[in-house]
Amino acid sequence: MSNKILVTRSSMPELEEYVEEIRDIWDSHWLTNMGEKHKNLQQQLKDYMKVENVELLTNGHMALELTMQAMNLQGEVITSPFTFASTTHAIVRNGLIPVFCDVNPIDFTIDVTKLESLITDKTCAIVPVHVYGNICNVEEIDRIAYKYGLKVIYDAAHTFGEEYKGCGIGTFGDASCFSFHATKVFNTIEGGAVCYKDELLGQRLYNLKNFGIRGPEDVESVGANAKMNEFQAAMGLCNLRHVEREIKKRKKVVERYRERLEGIKGIQLNHIQDNVKSNYAYFPVIFDEKLFGHSRNEVFDKLAENNIMARKYFYPLTNTFDCYHGQYDVSKTPIALYLSKRVLTLPLYADLSIEDVDRISDIIVGMME
């Protein structure tokens, strides 16, 4: 039996490189609290992400949760249910009411043609998700938000390093929240960041991540603790040196999958967006049972039999989670529901070999015969 292939594999530097990077931490005994590694990573990310402001946090979820808190939001937030648990939980944990907007069937991002009909006098913000590395219709979302005076907070967890028309993806909306979790394109083991425009928002966010402490005897506000520590930042400094090469390798994997799976009846591949510098974060495939002859679940099981672990991502929709039972009407997001029952993300990481991509593709193609 061949080795197990998981849906992703964390990018890591050579051990020696990390050891070299953390040597300063040993010498200084400065382990956390915005030390040299933190400062250095913050600066390097500003450059790499082409953004003005970056705040580093302990993970992507706290980036979302604290950004919403820093904006003092109240009322309803329009968002997508076709996402990871974190997006909806961050809204609910802020005492806000999520209002679910359907997604479009082409790139799976929030359907901007349905946004305006969901806006009420209680709406305070839109939290769209750039899903799988596909970016939302940022221009239309900007226009609508401006027209109704709404805040826009992007869940940008999937879009590290991406650009739209040459602009860093973190420059859109009022804030964009990134995840540097181990499974993402760029990781700091656990970690996250917020890119933002308004300086005051930045100060509030900093206070929330550091107990509201501004100086040794100065506690300005009631804050939590969500600091990125020096070991996380050191991992980021190492991984950032290799991220371009990793993305190039991901691109090769994606191109091979496309060659093998394009044009097969009943298989819909991810849409390639214009004007986007992609990071090739995920490879979602939609299986239409009627045309393909097998359901998504059958493909999942067949791959699993062969020691290949794909992922039903995103399934279930967040508006159908047990913890939200009876609260939301999933029939209002029919396209998201359709997709969540049919989508499978195939294994994708920089070091996935072309032979393995072929083996995975062969199994899928073989199911048709």
Ligand X SMILES: *Cc1c(COP(=O)(O)O)cnc(C)c1O
Q: Which residues bind ligand X (CB under 6 A)?
A: 59-61, 83-84, 86-87, 129, 155, 157-158, 179, 181, 192
Q: Whose Cβ is closer to ligand X: residue 177's or residue 350's? A: 177
CB of 132 to ligand X, least distance (A): 9
Residues counted in the chain:
369
CB of 179 to ligand X, least distance (A): 3
CB of 150 to ligand X, least distance (A): 20
Separation of alpha carbons 246 and 263, rounded Å? 27
Q: What is the DSSP string of 53-115?
A: -EEEES-HHHHHHHHHHHTT--SEEEE-SSS-HHHHHHHHHTT-EEEEPPB-TTT-SB-GGGH
Catalytic pick among 184, 249, 251, 290:
184
Amino acid at 239: N
CB of 315 to ligand X, least distance (A): 14
Taking a C-beta distance cutoff of 8 angstroms, is the pair 169, 163 a contact? yes
Separation of alpha carbons 95 and 90, rounded Å? 9
CB of 171 to ligand X, least distance (A): 19
CB of 362 to ligand X, least distance (A): 29
Burial 230-263 (b: 16+ CB within 10 A, else e): bbbbbbbbbbbebbeebbebbeebbebbeeebee
Question: What residues pair up with 54 in beta bridges, in sequence order?
Answer: 195
Q: Whose Cβ is closer to ligand X: residue 56's or residue 99's? A: 56
Q: Whose Cβ is closer to ligand X: residue 87's or residue 171's? A: 87
Q: Whose Cβ is closer to ligand X: residue 59's or residue 123's? A: 59
Q: Whose Cβ is closer to ligand X: residue 61's or residue 227's? A: 61
Separation of alpha carbons 174 and 193, rounded Å? 14
CA distances from 301 to 295, 311, 339 (A): 10, 11, 18
| Tokens at 319, concatenated | 């508006």
| Tokens at 318, concatenated | 């967040």
- The phi-psi region of residue 157 (left if phi > 0; otherwise alpha if psi is between -120 and 50; otherwise beta) is alpha
Q: Whose Cβ is closer to ligand X: residue 66's or residue 261's? A: 66
**Residue 122 falls in the annotated catalytic set:** no
Nearest to 187 by CA among 123, 233, 134: 233
Burial 146-156 (b: 16+ CB within 10 A, else e): eeeebbbbbbb
CB of 110 to ligand X, least distance (A): 13
Q: Whose Cβ is closer to ligand X: residue 61's or residue 256's? A: 61
Separation of alpha carbons 131 and 92, rounded Å? 20
What are the catalytic residues? 184
